[in-house]
């Protein structure tokens, strides 16, 4: 489970905290405060304390500001609020739905697909997404950043088939930029690496994270960078997010979006079309639309495959080809994400 430990992402005392770190610390963590901010009451939204105890609420205030006041069905609220349905035990929804534990090759390194190594850079996230497949993963022991990234860098250096390193998590941009630079400085000495990929929800949920220090680091990297953001609904974009995307692009990153198909959040064609169009307006190409990973506590978000395919076909019939994400599911043991 991802329980953010803000104390671990603080810079050393000599270095003043960046503005994004202050905003991170000020995130809403009390469900009742969140509901009060939105003019809602706990009973009508199905707030559940046991679900909150299992996977804590966490949401930056800037993201809360994009939620509609007084709307219990708001698509952003539904992604972060702990509700009673999570506590239902549903057959087929287990603890490690995607086989991460089996694919671990070194401390914090997961290698499932040809040419790519995924680093679990950290277990921390600025937002806790209720549907997240990593909510049950034992992160505390598993981050690649431990001991100056030594084990992960050694494993990557030793395998010449790895051309691309993916920074994932948790959210890799939870780490302070100097910590990320420590990794990329070490990786720069490995001749077989051709690309770097960063998977982060931070530019959307806390756009202040894309500060001058981060973009200077990005712009100086020796590889082309694919930056995969994660937005599930057009309402997640606002002017601050647009500006963050523009800064990432100016630093040379290729921006892509992955979304998860979620019942009650984005499971209709108008909403999915709006997401693609809004992403593109921000300079981001749709990449993947994921079918939910079947982990315990997320069954109420599931959209069945037949409906998912139908929605995807409607989307393809409506939008320019480059605005249609690939509909995929991750299946344990596959050589890549499986198209539906």
- By the criterion CB under 6 A, which residues form the site for ligand PLP? 110, 112-113, 116, 118, 166, 336-337
Q: Among ligand SF4, ligand PLP, none, what binds residue 224 when CB lies within 5 to 8 Å by partner kind? A: none
By the rule CB under 6 A, 2 interacts with ligand SF4: yes
Shortest distance (Å) from residue 124 CB to ligand SF4: 8
- Residue 36 and residue 69: Cα distance in Å, rounded? 10
Answer yes or no: are the C-beta atoms of 248 and 218 closer than 8 Å: yes
CB under 6 A: which stretch of 121-129, 153-161, 298-306, 314-322 binds ligand SF4?
121-129
Among 119, 127, 221, 315, binds ligand SF4 (CB under 6 A): 127
Q: Among ligand SF4, ligand PLP, none, what binds residue 127 when CB lies within 5 to 8 Å by partner kind? A: ligand SF4
Shortest distance (Å) from residue 166 CB to ligand PLP: 5
Shortest distance (Å) from residue 102 CB to ligand SF4: 19
Shortest distance (Å) from residue 168 CB to ligand SF4: 8
Provide the pairing of β-strand 326-329 with 164-168.
unpaired
DSSP-H helix ranges across 138-268: 150-157, 177-187, 202-205, 212-219, 239-250
Q: How many residues bind ligand SF4 (CB under 6 A)?
A: 12
By the rule CB under 6 A, 169 interacts with ligand SF4: yes
Q: Among ligand SF4, ligand PLP, none, what binds residue 28 when CB lies within 5 to 8 Å by partner kind? A: none
Q: Among ligand PLP, ligand SF4, none, what binds residue 112 when CB lies within 5 to 8 Å by partner kind? A: ligand PLP
- Residue 105 and residue 81: Cα distance in Å, rounded? 34
Q: Among ligand PLP, ligand SF4, none, what binds residue 78 when CB lies within 5 to 8 Å by partner kind? A: none
Shortest distance (Å) from residue 200 CB to ligand PLP: 14
Shortest distance (Å) from residue 336 CB to ligand PLP: 5
Determine the longest span between alpha carbons in the chain, in angstroms. 57
Q: Among ligand PLP, ligand SF4, none, what binds residue 233 when CB lies within 5 to 8 Å by partner kind? A: none
Answer yes or no: are the C-beta atoms of 116 and 195 closer than 8 Å: no
- Residue 130 and residue 47: Cα distance in Å, rounded? 12
Region of residue 114 (left: phi > 0; alpha: psi -120 to 50; beta: else): beta
- Residue 75 and residue 71: Cα distance in Å, rounded? 9
- Residue 123 and residue 1: Cα distance in Å, rounded? 8
Burial of 306 (0-12, 13-18, 19+ CB in 10 A): exposed
Q: What are the tokens at 79?
A: 């992604």
Residue 305 main-chain phi, psi, to 5 deg: -60, -40
Shortest distance (Å) from residue 229 CB to ligand PLP: 13
Q: Among ligand PLP, ligand SF4, none, what binds residue 293 when CB lies within 5 to 8 Å by partner kind? A: none
Shortest distance (Å) from residue 129 CB to ligand SF4: 3
Does residue 227 sit in helix, strand or coil? strand
Closest to ligand PLP by CB, 138 vs 264, is: 138
By the rule CB under 6 A, 278 interacts with ligand SF4: no
Which residues within the stretch 182-201 sit at the binding site for ligand SF4 (CB under 6 A)? 201
Beta-strand ranges (E) seen in the chain are 104-106, 109-110, 116-120, 164-168, 195-199, 225-230, 254-260, 285-290, 326-329, 338-339
Residues making contact with ligand SF4 (CB under 6 A) = 2, 125, 127-129, 132, 134, 169-171, 201, 230
């Amino acid at each position: 489970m991802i329980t953010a430990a803000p104390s671990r992402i603080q810079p050393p005392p000599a270095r003043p905290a960046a503005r994004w770190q202050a905003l991170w610390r000020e995130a809403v963590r009390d469900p009742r405060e969140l509901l009060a901010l939105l003019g809602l009451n706990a009973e009508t939204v199905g707030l559940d304390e046991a679900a909150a105890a299992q996977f804590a609420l966490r949401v930056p205030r800037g993201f809360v500001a994009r939620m509609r006041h007084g709307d219990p069905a708001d698509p952003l609220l539904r992604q972060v609020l702990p509700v009673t349905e999570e506590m239902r035990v549903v057959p087929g929804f287990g603890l490690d739905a995607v086989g991460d534990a089996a694919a671990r090759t070194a401390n914090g390194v997961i290698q499932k697909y040809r040419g790519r190594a995924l680093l679990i850079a950290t277990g921390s996230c600025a937002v806790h997404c209720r549907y997240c497949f990593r909510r049950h993963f034992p992160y505390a022991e598993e981050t690649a950043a431990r001991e100056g990234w030594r084990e992960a860098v050694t494993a990557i250096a030793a395998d010449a088939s790895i051309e691309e390193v993916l920074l994932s998590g948790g959210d890799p941009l939870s780490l302070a930029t100097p910590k990320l630079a420590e990794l990329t400085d070490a990786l720069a000495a490995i001749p077989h690496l051709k690309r770097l990929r960063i998977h982060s929800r931070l530019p959307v949920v806390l756009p202040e994270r894309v500060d001058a220090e981060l973009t200077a680091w990005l712009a100086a990297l020796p590889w082309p960078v694919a930056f995969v953001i994660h937005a599930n609904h057009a309402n997640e974009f606002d002017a601050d997010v647009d500006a963050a995307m523009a800064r990432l692009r100016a630093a040379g990153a290729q921006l892509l979006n992955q979304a998860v198909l979620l019942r009650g959040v984005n499971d209709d064609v108008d909403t999915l079309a709006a997401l693609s169009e809004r992403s593109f307006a921000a300079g981001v190409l749709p990449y993947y639309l994921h079918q939910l990973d079947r982990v315990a506590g997320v069954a109420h978000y599931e959209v069945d495959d037949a409906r998912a395919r139908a929605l995807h076909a409607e989307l393809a019939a409506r939008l320019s080809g480059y605005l249609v994400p690939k509909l995929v599911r991750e299946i344990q043991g596959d050589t890549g994400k499986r198209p539906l």
